A and B are shown apart, each in its own frame.
Chain A
Amino acid sequence: GAGVSQSPSNKVTEKGKDVELRCDPISGHTALYWYRQSLGQGLEFLIYFQGNSAPDKSGLPSDRFSAERTGGSVSTLTIQRTQQEDSAVYLCASSQPGSPLHFGNGTRLTVT
């Protein structure tokens, strides 16, 4: 079956531009997570959606970062006015109660 799909797989953008990263979770999964992973580092939690509840945004590093989840399915992570330190792999995961996280392969963002 289809897993978690992220697009684009790679994104190169200029400093100061806005970017949108997309995540298509596994159908029926109520929870959706965004993480950021810098080269050689662990996963940094960004934001978590669970059903219709208010998202947990406690990991977003600045107000330039925002995320939406429309209709309880697709999610978009938006980074405004990108900076070079935003360069990383952005990973999305989804899950349903009682099951482990299923990750996509990420979007590699490079800010030049």
Chain B
Amino acid sequence: LAKTTQPISMDSYEGQEVNITCSHNNIATNDYITWYQQFPSQGPRFIIQGYKTKVTNEVASLFIPADRKSSTLSLPRVSLSDTAVYYCLVGEAHSSASKIIFGSGTRLSIRP
């Protein structure tokens, strides 16, 4: 399983764009990059998944450079409700054939 490295914490303000970068130098050819979001007192929930280039949904965008050794989760115009812990995972796409390991995540705090 590819190890991931992401910042422990980040701060930003309402209305700003927030970019959280994740490093995964030993990502395998078949691996996808997946991000989960966890609010206090809740389990994590899926945000976005990608393999290369750019993926966008109603919540976020995911940018993956050509070498795939890192990825950036982009949250446009954040609000206070985006305060959460964000986890970057690398592995087979939504695979239920193996265990899924979470790292420590990035604790994002949004201020008014």
Contact = CB atoms under 8 A, between A and B. Distances in A.
A45 B96 contact: no
Given A41-B104, A93-B43, A105-B43, A99 B94 contact: yes
A45 B43 contact: no
B43 to A, nearest CB: 3
B99 A103 contact: no
Contacts of B80: none
B59 interface: no
Q: Give the dominant DSSP class at A's interface.
A: loop
| Chain B, interface residues (CB within 8 Å), range | 20 to 34
Contacts of A30: 96
Contacts, number: 64
Contacts of B104: 41-42
B100 interface: yes
A87 B64 CA distance: 38
Given A42-B103, A43-B102, A103 B43 contact: yes
The 10 closest A-B pairs by CB, nearest first: A103-B43, A100-B46, A31-B96, A42-B104, A43-B102, A48-B99, A95-B96, A91-B43, A56-B99, A97-B96
